[in-house]
Chains A and B, each alone.
Chain A
Amino acid sequence: MLKNIKQSLILSGMTIILFGIIYPLFIFAAGQLMPEKSEGSPVISEGRVVGFENIGQSFTEDKYFNGRPSAVGYNAASTGGSNKGNSNPEYLEEVKTRIDTFLVHNPDVNKKDIPSELVTASGSGIDPNITTDAALIQISRIAKVRNLSEVRLEELIREYTEGKYLGLLGIEKVNLLKLNIALDKIN
Protein backbone atom coordinates (compact mmCIF):
# COMPACT_ATOMS: atom_id res chain seq x y z
CA MET A 1 0.00 0.00 0.00
CA LEU A 2 2.75 2.43 0.99
CA LYS A 3 4.54 1.68 -2.26
CA ASN A 4 1.31 2.42 -4.14
CA ILE A 5 0.97 5.78 -2.45
CA LYS A 6 4.58 6.72 -3.14
CA GLN A 7 4.33 5.75 -6.81
CA SER A 8 1.04 7.60 -7.16
CA LEU A 9 2.41 10.72 -5.50
CA ILE A 10 5.43 10.97 -7.77
CA LEU A 11 3.45 10.04 -10.86
CA SER A 12 0.89 12.74 -10.01
CA GLY A 13 3.57 15.35 -9.48
CA MET A 14 5.23 14.56 -12.79
CA THR A 15 1.96 14.58 -14.70
CA ILE A 16 0.94 17.90 -13.15
CA ILE A 17 4.16 19.37 -14.52
CA LEU A 18 3.67 17.73 -17.89
CA PHE A 19 -0.04 18.39 -18.52
CA GLY A 20 -0.71 21.37 -16.26
CA ILE A 21 2.40 23.39 -17.09
CA ILE A 22 4.48 22.16 -20.04
CA TYR A 23 1.55 21.39 -22.36
CA PRO A 24 -0.22 24.77 -21.95
CA LEU A 25 3.10 26.62 -22.13
CA PHE A 26 3.96 24.82 -25.35
CA ILE A 27 0.61 25.83 -26.85
CA PHE A 28 1.14 29.37 -25.54
CA ALA A 29 4.53 29.49 -27.26
CA ALA A 30 3.02 28.22 -30.49
CA GLY A 31 0.35 30.90 -30.15
CA GLN A 32 3.04 33.58 -30.15
CA LEU A 33 3.46 32.85 -33.86
CA MET A 34 -0.04 34.30 -34.25
CA PRO A 35 0.13 37.13 -31.66
CA GLU A 36 -3.06 38.96 -32.70
CA LYS A 37 -5.13 35.82 -32.62
CA SER A 38 -3.76 34.59 -29.33
CA GLU A 39 -4.67 37.93 -27.73
CA GLY A 40 -8.27 37.45 -28.88
CA SER A 41 -8.15 39.40 -32.19
CA PRO A 42 -8.68 43.00 -31.05
CA VAL A 43 -10.39 45.32 -33.53
CA ILE A 44 -8.92 48.80 -33.95
CA SER A 45 -10.89 51.69 -35.34
CA GLU A 46 -9.84 55.34 -35.40
CA GLY A 47 -6.73 54.56 -33.43
CA ARG A 48 -8.29 52.78 -30.48
CA VAL A 49 -9.36 49.26 -29.59
CA VAL A 50 -13.15 49.20 -29.93
CA GLY A 51 -13.64 45.52 -29.22
CA PHE A 52 -12.70 41.99 -30.20
CA GLU A 53 -13.61 40.49 -33.52
CA ASN A 54 -15.49 37.52 -32.10
CA ILE A 55 -16.95 39.12 -28.98
CA GLY A 56 -20.36 40.60 -29.63
CA GLN A 57 -21.17 43.99 -28.14
CA SER A 58 -24.41 45.76 -27.44
CA PHE A 59 -25.88 47.62 -30.42
CA THR A 60 -29.21 49.08 -29.40
CA GLU A 61 -29.18 52.55 -30.97
CA ASP A 62 -31.31 53.08 -34.05
CA LYS A 63 -28.33 54.27 -36.11
CA TYR A 64 -26.59 50.91 -35.83
CA PHE A 65 -27.54 47.47 -37.02
CA ASN A 66 -28.95 45.98 -33.82
CA GLY A 67 -27.85 42.63 -32.47
CA ARG A 68 -29.60 39.94 -30.51
CA PRO A 69 -30.93 40.39 -27.00
CA SER A 70 -28.49 39.23 -24.31
CA ALA A 71 -29.32 37.66 -20.98
CA VAL A 72 -26.21 39.28 -19.47
CA GLY A 73 -26.35 42.66 -21.20
CA TYR A 74 -23.30 41.82 -23.35
CA ASN A 75 -21.11 41.65 -20.25
CA ALA A 76 -18.04 39.88 -21.62
CA ALA A 77 -16.65 39.30 -18.13
CA SER A 78 -19.63 37.24 -16.99
CA THR A 79 -21.25 35.58 -19.95
CA GLY A 80 -24.24 33.27 -20.27
CA GLY A 81 -27.69 32.60 -21.68
CA SER A 82 -31.16 33.14 -20.28
CA ASN A 83 -31.73 29.44 -19.57
CA LYS A 84 -35.44 29.96 -20.08
CA GLY A 85 -37.45 26.93 -21.12
CA ASN A 86 -39.60 26.89 -24.24
CA SER A 87 -42.83 26.84 -22.21
CA ASN A 88 -41.94 29.44 -19.55
CA PRO A 89 -44.79 32.03 -19.58
CA GLU A 90 -42.61 34.83 -18.13
CA TYR A 91 -40.09 34.25 -20.90
CA LEU A 92 -42.76 34.31 -23.60
CA GLU A 93 -44.08 37.61 -22.19
CA GLU A 94 -40.55 38.99 -22.45
CA VAL A 95 -40.23 37.92 -26.08
CA LYS A 96 -43.60 39.56 -26.80
CA THR A 97 -42.35 42.82 -25.33
CA ARG A 98 -39.21 42.62 -27.48
CA ILE A 99 -41.34 42.10 -30.58
CA ASP A 100 -43.43 45.17 -29.75
CA THR A 101 -40.32 47.25 -29.10
CA PHE A 102 -38.81 46.11 -32.39
CA LEU A 103 -41.96 47.11 -34.25
CA VAL A 104 -41.94 50.57 -32.66
CA HIS A 105 -38.37 51.12 -33.86
CA ASN A 106 -38.96 49.50 -37.25
CA PRO A 107 -42.49 50.55 -38.28
CA ASP A 108 -41.98 49.40 -41.90
CA VAL A 109 -41.39 45.76 -40.92
CA ASN A 110 -44.20 43.22 -40.94
CA LYS A 111 -44.49 41.29 -37.68
CA LYS A 112 -44.40 37.95 -39.46
CA ASP A 113 -41.06 38.84 -41.08
CA ILE A 114 -39.22 39.33 -37.79
CA PRO A 115 -36.70 36.49 -37.49
CA SER A 116 -36.78 34.90 -34.04
CA GLU A 117 -33.03 35.40 -33.50
CA LEU A 118 -33.62 39.16 -33.10
CA VAL A 119 -35.94 38.64 -30.13
CA THR A 120 -34.31 35.63 -28.46
CA ALA A 121 -31.14 35.67 -26.35
CA SER A 122 -28.01 33.80 -27.47
CA GLY A 123 -26.28 31.09 -25.47
CA SER A 124 -23.14 33.11 -24.73
CA GLY A 125 -24.87 36.45 -24.29
CA ILE A 126 -22.19 37.89 -26.58
CA ASP A 127 -23.17 36.50 -29.99
CA PRO A 128 -21.14 38.54 -32.48
CA ASN A 129 -23.38 37.72 -35.45
CA ILE A 130 -26.83 38.08 -36.93
CA THR A 131 -27.97 36.46 -40.17
CA THR A 132 -27.88 38.49 -43.36
CA ASP A 133 -31.68 38.51 -43.47
CA ALA A 134 -31.86 39.91 -39.95
CA ALA A 135 -29.58 42.75 -41.07
CA LEU A 136 -31.56 43.39 -44.26
CA ILE A 137 -34.87 44.02 -42.46
CA GLN A 138 -33.23 46.82 -40.47
CA ILE A 139 -32.29 48.75 -43.61
CA SER A 140 -35.25 51.09 -43.81
CA ARG A 141 -34.79 52.27 -40.22
CA ILE A 142 -31.09 52.97 -40.65
CA ALA A 143 -31.61 54.65 -44.01
CA LYS A 144 -33.96 57.16 -42.37
CA VAL A 145 -31.80 57.81 -39.31
CA ARG A 146 -28.59 58.21 -41.30
CA ASN A 147 -30.05 59.71 -44.41
CA LEU A 148 -28.56 57.05 -46.63
CA SER A 149 -30.04 55.22 -49.60
CA GLU A 150 -31.38 51.74 -48.96
CA VAL A 151 -29.46 50.45 -51.98
CA ARG A 152 -26.17 51.65 -50.50
CA LEU A 153 -26.95 49.88 -47.21
CA GLU A 154 -27.86 46.67 -48.97
CA GLU A 155 -24.57 46.77 -50.84
CA LEU A 156 -22.77 47.24 -47.55
CA ILE A 157 -24.48 44.23 -46.01
CA ARG A 158 -23.64 42.09 -49.04
CA GLU A 159 -20.03 43.21 -48.81
CA TYR A 160 -19.84 42.16 -45.15
CA THR A 161 -21.79 38.92 -45.53
CA GLU A 162 -19.84 35.83 -44.52
CA GLY A 163 -21.24 33.19 -46.85
CA LYS A 164 -21.55 29.47 -46.39
CA TYR A 165 -18.44 27.32 -46.67
CA LEU A 166 -18.29 25.87 -50.20
CA GLY A 167 -21.68 27.52 -50.67
CA LEU A 168 -23.28 24.73 -48.66
CA LEU A 169 -22.15 24.48 -45.08
CA GLY A 170 -23.04 26.78 -42.22
CA ILE A 171 -25.18 29.89 -42.02
CA GLU A 172 -25.02 33.15 -43.97
CA LYS A 173 -24.30 35.89 -41.46
CA VAL A 174 -22.67 39.25 -40.78
CA ASN A 175 -20.24 40.28 -38.04
CA LEU A 176 -22.05 43.20 -36.41
CA LEU A 177 -18.97 44.97 -35.09
CA LYS A 178 -17.27 45.04 -38.49
CA LEU A 179 -20.49 45.99 -40.25
CA ASN A 180 -21.24 48.86 -37.88
CA ILE A 181 -17.68 50.20 -38.07
CA ALA A 182 -18.06 50.26 -41.85
CA LEU A 183 -21.42 51.96 -41.44
CA ASP A 184 -19.86 54.71 -39.33
CA LYS A 185 -17.24 55.25 -42.00
CA ILE A 186 -19.83 55.99 -44.71
CA ASN A 187 -21.20 59.08 -42.94
Chain B
Amino acid sequence: MDNFEQIEKYVSGRMTETEKSAFESQLTTDPALKNEFALQRSIIHGIQKARIAELKTMLSQIPVTSAVSAGLATGKLVAGVVAATVVATASYFYFKPANTAPVTAKNESIKTEIKKEKPIQPETINSNKQEEVTAATSVKSSSHKPTPSIPAATKAKPKINVLDPTEELTTPATPSAKAKEDVLSATVAVSHVAVEVNNSEKKYSFHYQFQNGRLVLYGAFDDGLYEILEIHGDAPSLFLYYKNSYYLLNEKQTDITPLSAIQNTQLIQKLKEYRSRQN
Protein backbone atom coordinates (compact mmCIF):
# COMPACT_ATOMS: atom_id res chain seq x y z
CA MET B 1 0.00 0.00 0.00
CA ASP B 2 1.57 3.31 -0.99
CA ASN B 3 1.23 6.53 0.93
CA PHE B 4 -1.64 7.81 -1.10
CA GLU B 5 -3.71 4.70 -0.64
CA GLN B 6 -2.94 4.57 3.04
CA ILE B 7 -3.88 8.15 3.67
CA GLU B 8 -7.05 7.74 1.75
CA LYS B 9 -8.05 4.61 3.56
CA TYR B 10 -7.35 6.28 6.87
CA VAL B 11 -9.20 9.49 6.17
CA SER B 12 -12.23 7.81 4.67
CA GLY B 13 -12.50 5.53 7.69
CA ARG B 14 -11.87 2.34 5.76
CA MET B 15 -8.94 1.11 7.88
CA THR B 16 -9.02 -1.61 10.47
CA GLU B 17 -7.96 -0.79 14.02
CA THR B 18 -4.55 -2.42 13.56
CA GLU B 19 -3.89 -0.61 10.31
CA LYS B 20 -4.98 2.60 11.95
CA SER B 21 -2.56 2.48 14.85
CA ALA B 22 0.29 1.43 12.55
CA PHE B 23 -0.47 4.37 10.31
CA GLU B 24 -0.70 6.78 13.20
CA SER B 25 2.71 5.83 14.53
CA GLN B 26 4.15 6.16 11.05
CA LEU B 27 2.76 9.68 10.87
CA THR B 28 4.80 10.78 13.85
CA THR B 29 8.07 9.69 12.29
CA ASP B 30 7.57 10.59 8.63
CA PRO B 31 7.19 14.32 7.97
CA ALA B 32 6.60 13.87 4.24
CA LEU B 33 3.75 11.51 4.99
CA LYS B 34 2.43 13.95 7.53
CA ASN B 35 2.37 16.74 4.96
CA GLU B 36 0.60 14.66 2.40
CA PHE B 37 -1.78 13.47 5.08
CA ALA B 38 -2.74 17.01 6.04
CA LEU B 39 -3.41 17.88 2.43
CA GLN B 40 -5.47 14.77 1.75
CA ARG B 41 -7.47 15.19 4.89
CA SER B 42 -8.40 18.73 3.92
CA ILE B 43 -9.40 17.67 0.43
CA ILE B 44 -11.54 14.79 1.61
CA HIS B 45 -13.17 16.92 4.27
CA GLY B 46 -13.82 19.45 1.54
CA ILE B 47 -15.56 16.83 -0.57
CA GLN B 48 -17.64 15.78 2.41
CA LYS B 49 -18.61 19.36 3.18
CA ALA B 50 -19.59 19.89 -0.42
CA ARG B 51 -21.82 16.83 -0.31
CA ILE B 52 -23.45 18.02 2.91
CA ALA B 53 -24.10 21.37 1.27
CA GLU B 54 -25.56 19.61 -1.74
CA LEU B 55 -27.90 17.50 0.36
CA LYS B 56 -29.02 20.51 2.34
CA THR B 57 -29.70 22.45 -0.82
CA MET B 58 -31.76 19.55 -2.08
CA LEU B 59 -33.79 19.52 1.15
CA SER B 60 -34.27 23.28 1.10
CA GLN B 61 -36.09 22.99 -2.17
CA ILE B 62 -38.80 20.82 -0.71
CA PRO B 63 -41.96 22.71 0.15
CA VAL B 64 -42.81 22.27 3.81
CA THR B 65 -45.18 23.54 6.43
CA SER B 66 -43.65 26.29 8.45
CA ALA B 67 -43.28 25.52 12.13
CA VAL B 68 -44.25 29.05 12.98
CA SER B 69 -47.59 28.96 11.23
CA ALA B 70 -48.07 25.45 12.46
CA GLY B 71 -51.16 26.31 14.41
CA LEU B 72 -52.97 27.36 11.27
CA ALA B 73 -54.63 24.92 9.01
CA THR B 74 -53.03 26.39 5.91
CA GLY B 75 -50.03 24.22 5.53
CA LYS B 76 -48.32 23.43 2.31
CA LEU B 77 -48.21 19.81 3.12
CA VAL B 78 -51.20 17.65 2.64
CA ALA B 79 -49.83 14.81 4.55
CA GLY B 80 -52.43 12.36 5.31
CA VAL B 81 -55.11 10.89 3.25
CA VAL B 82 -55.77 7.95 5.39
CA ALA B 83 -57.70 5.06 4.61
CA ALA B 84 -58.76 1.59 4.84
CA THR B 85 -58.85 -0.69 1.92
CA VAL B 86 -62.07 -2.47 1.89
CA VAL B 87 -61.74 -5.36 -0.44
CA ALA B 88 -63.94 -7.96 -2.00
CA THR B 89 -66.20 -9.04 0.81
CA ALA B 90 -67.39 -5.55 1.45
CA SER B 91 -68.78 -5.14 -2.01
CA TYR B 92 -71.68 -7.37 -1.19
CA PHE B 93 -72.81 -5.03 1.51
CA TYR B 94 -72.48 -1.95 -0.60
CA PHE B 95 -74.80 -3.16 -3.24
CA LYS B 96 -77.35 -4.94 -1.16
CA PRO B 97 -77.99 -2.42 1.57
CA ALA B 98 -81.62 -3.38 2.04
CA ASN B 99 -80.84 -7.00 2.79
CA THR B 100 -78.04 -6.28 5.11
CA ALA B 101 -79.39 -3.46 7.16
CA PRO B 102 -77.40 -4.05 10.34
CA VAL B 103 -74.19 -4.34 8.46
CA THR B 104 -74.82 -1.21 6.50
CA ALA B 105 -75.50 0.68 9.64
CA LYS B 106 -72.12 -0.31 10.89
CA ASN B 107 -70.53 0.61 7.62
CA GLU B 108 -71.89 4.07 7.87
CA SER B 109 -69.88 4.69 10.93
CA ILE B 110 -66.62 4.10 9.18
CA LYS B 111 -64.51 7.01 10.03
CA THR B 112 -61.68 7.40 7.70
CA GLU B 113 -60.42 10.71 8.62
CA ILE B 114 -58.56 13.07 6.43
CA LYS B 115 -56.22 15.20 8.34
CA LYS B 116 -54.06 17.94 7.05
CA GLU B 117 -50.47 18.29 8.11
CA LYS B 118 -50.66 15.44 10.51
CA PRO B 119 -48.91 12.35 9.38
CA ILE B 120 -50.42 9.23 10.70
CA GLN B 121 -48.35 7.21 13.01
CA PRO B 122 -47.26 3.92 11.59
CA GLU B 123 -48.45 2.14 14.71
CA THR B 124 -51.98 3.09 13.94
CA ILE B 125 -51.73 1.49 10.59
CA ASN B 126 -50.19 -1.59 12.03
CA SER B 127 -52.99 -1.89 14.48
CA ASN B 128 -55.36 -1.70 11.59
CA LYS B 129 -53.57 -4.58 10.02
CA GLN B 130 -53.75 -6.61 13.14
CA GLU B 131 -57.40 -5.93 13.20
CA GLU B 132 -57.78 -7.87 10.00
CA VAL B 133 -57.66 -11.00 12.03
CA THR B 134 -60.21 -10.07 14.59
CA ALA B 135 -62.49 -7.99 12.45
CA ALA B 136 -64.06 -10.96 10.85
CA THR B 137 -65.13 -12.52 14.08
CA SER B 138 -65.87 -9.69 16.41
CA VAL B 139 -67.86 -6.62 15.60
CA LYS B 140 -67.13 -4.00 18.11
CA SER B 141 -69.52 -1.44 19.38
CA SER B 142 -69.19 1.81 17.54
CA SER B 143 -68.98 3.74 20.75
CA HIS B 144 -65.78 1.95 21.60
CA LYS B 145 -62.83 4.19 21.18
CA PRO B 146 -59.43 2.59 21.17
CA THR B 147 -56.92 4.62 23.06
CA PRO B 148 -53.77 5.08 21.08
CA SER B 149 -50.84 4.09 23.17
CA ILE B 150 -48.35 6.85 23.59
CA PRO B 151 -44.82 5.54 23.91
CA ALA B 152 -42.99 6.12 27.15
CA ALA B 153 -40.47 8.18 25.24
CA THR B 154 -42.91 11.05 25.36
CA LYS B 155 -42.00 11.79 28.92
CA ALA B 156 -40.04 14.94 29.41
CA LYS B 157 -36.36 14.91 28.76
CA PRO B 158 -33.84 17.00 30.60
CA LYS B 159 -32.51 20.47 29.85
CA ILE B 160 -34.11 21.45 26.60
CA ASN B 161 -37.79 22.05 26.82
CA VAL B 162 -38.71 18.97 24.92
CA LEU B 163 -41.70 18.47 22.76
CA ASP B 164 -43.10 15.07 22.54
CA PRO B 165 -41.88 13.79 19.19
CA THR B 166 -44.63 11.29 18.93
CA GLU B 167 -47.38 13.64 19.98
CA GLU B 168 -47.88 15.12 16.56
CA LEU B 169 -47.98 11.79 14.95
CA THR B 170 -50.24 10.31 17.52
CA THR B 171 -52.88 12.99 17.44
CA PRO B 172 -54.79 11.71 14.44
CA ALA B 173 -54.63 8.18 15.70
CA THR B 174 -58.00 8.24 17.35
CA PRO B 175 -60.08 9.09 14.31
CA SER B 176 -58.29 6.67 12.06
CA ALA B 177 -58.30 4.00 14.68
CA LYS B 178 -62.04 4.28 14.74
CA ALA B 179 -62.13 2.95 11.25
CA LYS B 180 -60.92 -0.42 12.28
CA GLU B 181 -63.87 -1.28 14.41
CA ASP B 182 -66.25 -0.70 11.59
CA VAL B 183 -64.80 -2.76 8.90
CA LEU B 184 -66.60 -5.91 9.84
CA SER B 185 -65.71 -8.85 7.71
CA ALA B 186 -64.02 -6.70 5.15
CA THR B 187 -60.31 -6.75 4.85
CA VAL B 188 -58.40 -3.67 5.80
CA ALA B 189 -55.13 -3.31 4.08
CA VAL B 190 -52.65 -0.60 3.50
CA SER B 191 -52.35 0.62 -0.02
CA HIS B 192 -49.03 0.75 -1.75
CA VAL B 193 -49.71 3.62 -4.07
CA ALA B 194 -48.06 6.78 -2.92
CA VAL B 195 -49.32 10.24 -3.56
CA GLU B 196 -47.04 13.19 -3.96
CA VAL B 197 -48.02 16.81 -4.30
CA ASN B 198 -45.87 19.02 -6.45
CA ASN B 199 -46.73 22.68 -6.37
CA SER B 200 -43.41 23.97 -7.58
CA GLU B 201 -44.27 23.64 -11.26
CA LYS B 202 -45.81 26.91 -12.34
CA LYS B 203 -46.88 25.47 -15.65
CA TYR B 204 -49.07 22.81 -14.12
CA SER B 205 -51.70 24.28 -11.88
CA PHE B 206 -54.11 21.35 -11.71
CA HIS B 207 -52.58 18.30 -13.29
CA TYR B 208 -51.59 14.78 -12.50
CA GLN B 209 -49.41 11.96 -13.73
CA PHE B 210 -48.32 8.50 -12.70
CA GLN B 211 -44.63 8.25 -12.20
CA ASN B 212 -43.07 4.92 -11.30
CA GLY B 213 -46.30 3.75 -9.82
CA ARG B 214 -46.82 6.81 -7.69
CA LEU B 215 -49.40 9.45 -8.25
CA VAL B 216 -48.08 12.97 -8.58
CA LEU B 217 -50.56 15.81 -8.21
CA TYR B 218 -49.51 19.16 -9.57
CA GLY B 219 -51.00 22.34 -8.26
CA ALA B 220 -51.94 24.15 -5.08
CA PHE B 221 -53.38 21.15 -3.31
CA ASP B 222 -52.04 22.62 -0.15
CA ASP B 223 -55.10 24.45 0.95
CA GLY B 224 -57.57 21.71 0.44
CA LEU B 225 -57.97 18.09 1.13
CA TYR B 226 -57.73 15.38 -1.39
CA GLU B 227 -58.77 11.80 -1.36
CA ILE B 228 -57.97 9.02 -3.71
CA LEU B 229 -60.71 6.48 -4.22
CA GLU B 230 -60.27 3.18 -5.87
CA ILE B 231 -63.27 1.29 -7.09
CA HIS B 232 -62.80 -2.37 -7.76
CA GLY B 233 -65.31 -3.06 -10.41
CA ASP B 234 -64.87 -4.97 -13.62
CA ALA B 235 -61.73 -2.99 -14.01
CA PRO B 236 -60.21 -1.13 -11.09
CA SER B 237 -60.56 2.61 -11.41
CA LEU B 238 -59.01 5.43 -9.54
CA PHE B 239 -60.71 8.67 -8.69
CA LEU B 240 -59.58 11.84 -7.05
CA TYR B 241 -61.93 13.73 -4.80
CA TYR B 242 -61.02 17.34 -4.29
CA LYS B 243 -63.13 20.30 -3.23
CA ASN B 244 -66.48 18.69 -3.96
CA SER B 245 -65.50 17.45 -7.39
CA TYR B 246 -64.45 14.07 -8.66
CA TYR B 247 -61.74 13.42 -11.21
CA LEU B 248 -60.90 10.27 -13.06
CA LEU B 249 -57.28 9.15 -12.74
CA ASN B 250 -55.86 6.97 -15.47
CA GLU B 251 -53.13 4.82 -13.97
CA LYS B 252 -51.53 4.42 -17.36
CA GLN B 253 -51.15 8.16 -17.72
CA THR B 254 -47.44 8.85 -17.41
CA ASP B 255 -47.62 12.28 -19.00
CA ILE B 256 -48.61 15.31 -17.01
CA THR B 257 -52.29 15.68 -17.75
CA PRO B 258 -54.79 18.33 -16.72
CA LEU B 259 -57.45 17.20 -14.25
CA SER B 260 -61.00 17.77 -15.38
CA ALA B 261 -63.99 17.21 -13.20
CA ILE B 262 -66.39 14.38 -13.93
CA GLN B 263 -69.72 15.71 -15.25
CA ASN B 264 -71.70 12.49 -15.44
CA THR B 265 -74.21 12.93 -12.63
CA GLN B 266 -74.88 9.23 -12.30
CA LEU B 267 -71.23 8.50 -11.80
CA ILE B 268 -70.89 11.37 -9.37
CA GLN B 269 -73.81 10.00 -7.38
CA LYS B 270 -72.13 6.62 -7.20
CA LEU B 271 -68.84 8.10 -6.11
CA LYS B 272 -70.60 10.17 -3.49
CA GLU B 273 -72.10 7.04 -2.09
CA TYR B 274 -68.72 5.37 -1.86
CA ARG B 275 -67.22 8.35 -0.21
CA SER B 276 -69.98 8.65 2.35
CA ARG B 277 -69.16 5.16 3.49
CA GLN B 278 -65.81 6.47 4.44
CA ASN B 279 -66.86 9.63 6.16
User: Do the two shown chains form a genuine complex with each other?
Assistant: no
